[in-house]
Amino acid sequence: MQQQTLERRLELLKDEGYGYFPKEIVERLSVKYGCAKSTIYHDFATKPTWQPLVMEVKQALHTIVNRHEQLYRKAALTYIQAENNAQKIAAINLMKTINLDAFEMLQSTGQIVKVPEKVEADITKRSVIIHMWKPENARPRNNDTVLPSV
């Protein structure tokens, strides 16, 4: 792979991580690298083929974690700059979703060990029941505020 192609594709991945639309990425990269727009669209179409060559799996995991952190920072900034409660609630919900997604991703890759929530043992029946915590089974805590819908 040529150096310019490698740089263009890495920048494509970076811009995609920042959340730019493909059309915006194509416009910017075609001007920056002096290539046809169809070249960038071809990069998008063949990304499953070349992306593993460009990035190792471990590096990809770090990239995803970085994207989650960036999204979380943007949601936190939105919360700080919110002008009304509805915007603040939406930002908090987004922050919560980002955290749960990151947690599930790290659990699925083995970066975080899954720990049982509760273990029950019945000696008379010779059985053990292990209850695993799942985000979808989360119960509201006393400090969770439920606001009426608008």
**Continuous segment of H or E residues that includes residue 122:** strand 116-122
The rounded distance, in Å, linking the Cα atoms of 43 and 9 is 7
The rounded distance, in Å, linking the Cα atoms of 22 and 47 is 13
**Domain map (residue ranges) of the chain:** 1-55
Q: Count of CB atoms within 10 A of residue 98's CB? A: 20
Could you tell me if 84 and 111 are in contact, meaning their C-beta atoms sit under 8 angstroms apart? no
Would you give per-residue pLDDT tens digits along the chain (150 residues)?
577 888 888 889 888 888 888 999 999 999 999 999 999 999 999 988 888 777 665 577 777 878 888 888 899 999 999 999 898 888 888 888 888 888 887 777 666 666 655 656 666 666 666 666 666 665 555 544 555 554
**Continuous segment of H or E residues that includes residue 60:** helix 57-81
The rounded distance, in Å, linking the Cα atoms of 55 and 53 is 6
pLDDT, tens only, 37-75: 999 999 999 988 888 777 665 577 777 878 888 888 899
